[in-house]
Chain A
């Protein structure tokens, strides 16, 4: 029995290690490429370790992508915070207050999370042009906050549903009004929920591409995802810079993931609709 168990564990480890190599192979390649000087980039040595490690790729990537990196932060931080506030208030109402037809309304809101954004894209752009936000970071913030309403409301609603009704009734008897119930009971209880939503919105908005590429056409206003794709579109692809750029673009969300991984997984779970 013990013998078979050890044997099956060994097999498991071998398979896991092989799969881990497959998962990390692109990471190895991107790292070695990004630390090579341009002169050393060649097809025949692309799997080799850099002979003269250099930061040239990163310096160039920062020079080209620096402003876009800043744009991404200017977009993601306000959009995430606004999403949180709106989602939390909505979630509280849909979980604990409810009104006639609130379940149907909630479902209709939820549908907005799954639609292909192509189906609203063109009218959206015309609308942003009319209100003067087309091509602006502010326009992107508005878009992400609005289309973030379904998922943030869902996560908070699921979170608040767990709070026992007795707690709210007790507060009501003590004469607390709705505002007090929210600020004194629900809000403090839901701080972990906030972390989940912050991670969720931060990574999604940071990584988003379709809105970014269609709403901002001015390169100085584009978020980093668009700028990264445009790097590849230039005449000669400087692969070391390209790979360094990919690392720069991925780093903020990877850091969030490394530092707050535990919550990240909870965020993932909340993304699957469940009661």
Chain B
């Protein structure tokens, strides 16, 4: 009776299993295979003359200046975007957790950008950060700075080619836009976590004379460790894949200052017919994401197994 039920259960989910097997794992294997091929022109693709070229596409990529820039851009974008979202999200959550009057309104203001698409965010912020012909005829935020008497702070924003070490400063406006969109989400995660902390614990700490600062670091933060980890993983895998925002806001920028692997992959595959190179970028992206996600998924499984 019970085994029959399990058999039916398996039968019911099998279409989904087959779909995922093909659309996820099957297609990934095809992409991996393509990345080791010579499919770097349209004619080779349609004639399907597969030739195994080993690591050649990967070697080319890693010695390619644009791809190197992409990897550095991803690294710095990820670091600052994660830091921005987590610090701001944590700060907002901790402030709103004190149940201030009107907290709900603030919460909604901070969270609403999450409901927008990256395309809309990119459109808005590209208008906002468009430098104009500053300092005489500025636009957007430069204009605002001029009006506020802070004209000396005017800047080329996402059009500048300066960098500090390998960090392209043109990424700063993109990081601000991405943080604007996702720090509210991070706040919501932390708020949910803080609501789960028993008030008795906080009261007890207060009776013992702990300050708000101490309560935050000694009582709340240790309880929020798993939330921080989840937030880092969710935000991290978004930033490793970032595409829409760049595409709508800045494009690759002068000298690839705001280029990302996903943008390069799109360019190689859909604009230049270099499918094998595009596939190699995609595989590298997959490996980067897997490094973040697989340990996380496995640890979730272990936790459930021990329950």
Residues of A within 8 A of B (CB): 8-9, 12-13, 15-16, 19-20, 22-26, 29-30, 33, 43-44, 46-47, 86, 89-90, 93-94, 97-100, 102-103, 105, 107-112, 114-124, 127, 146-147, 149-150, 153, 178, 203, 206-210, 213-214, 225, 228-229, 232, 239, 242-243, 245-246, 249-250, 253-254, 256-257, 261, 264-265, 268-269, 271-275
Q: In whole angstroms, how far apart are the Cα atoms of A103 and B234 in the complex?
A: 22
Q: Are B115 and A256 in contact (CB under 8 A)?
A: yes
Which B residues lie at the A interface, using CB under 8 A? 5-10, 12-13, 16-17, 19-20, 23-28, 30-31, 34, 88, 92, 95-96, 98, 100, 106, 108-120, 123-128, 132, 137-140, 143-144, 147, 180, 184-185, 188-189, 192, 212, 226-227, 230-231, 234, 237, 240-241, 243-244, 247-248, 262, 265-266, 269-270, 275, 278-279, 281-283, 285-286, 289, 293-294, 296-298, 300-301, 303-305, 307
Q: B28 contacts which chain A residues (CB < 8 A)?
A: 115, 119-120
Count of A-B contacts judged by CB separation below 8 Å: 256
B120:A46 contact, CB within 8 angstroms: no
Determine which of B10, B25, B120 lies in contact with A250 in the assembled complex, contact meaning CB atoms within 8 Å. B120
Q: Which of A103, A116, A250 has the most CB of B within 10 A?
A: A116
A118 and B139 in contact, given A146-B20, A261-B108 (Cβ under 8 angstroms): no
Q: Please pick, from B26, B95, B112, B241, the residue contacting A118 in the complex, using a CB distance under 8 A.
A: B241
* Whole-angstrom CA separation of A61 from B159 in the bound complex: 28
Q: Are B117 and A225 in contact (CB under 8 A)?
A: yes
Query: Which residues in A have their C-beta under 8 angstroms from that of B112?
Result: 23, 254, 257
Bound CA–CA A98/B6 (angstroms)? 6
- Main DSSP-derived SS at the B contact region: helix
Q: Tell me whether A118 and B285 are in contact (CB under 8 A).
A: yes
Please, which residues of chain B bring their CB within 8 A of the CB of A26?
124-125, 128, 180
- In the complex, the answer to whether B144 meets A47 with C-beta atoms within 8 Å is yes
- 8 tightest Cβ-Cβ pairs between the two chains A and B: A207-B117, A97-B9, A120-B27, A43-B139, A123-B30, A257-B115, A123-B27, A209-B244
- On whether the beta carbons of B281 and A118 are closer than 8 Å, the reply is yes
> SS class of chain A's interface: helix, strand, loop or mixed?
helix
From B23, B92, B247, give the contact of A19 (CB < 8 A): B92
Query: Which residues of chain B have C-beta atoms less than 8 A from A44's C-beta?
Result: 137, 143
Residues of A within 8 A of B126 (CB): 232
Contact of B143 among A46, A116, A207, A256 (CB under 8 A): A46
Specify the chain A residue showing the minimal Cβ separation from B287: A119
Residue of A nearest to B180 (CB): A23
Beta-carbon nearest neighbor of B244 in chain A: A209
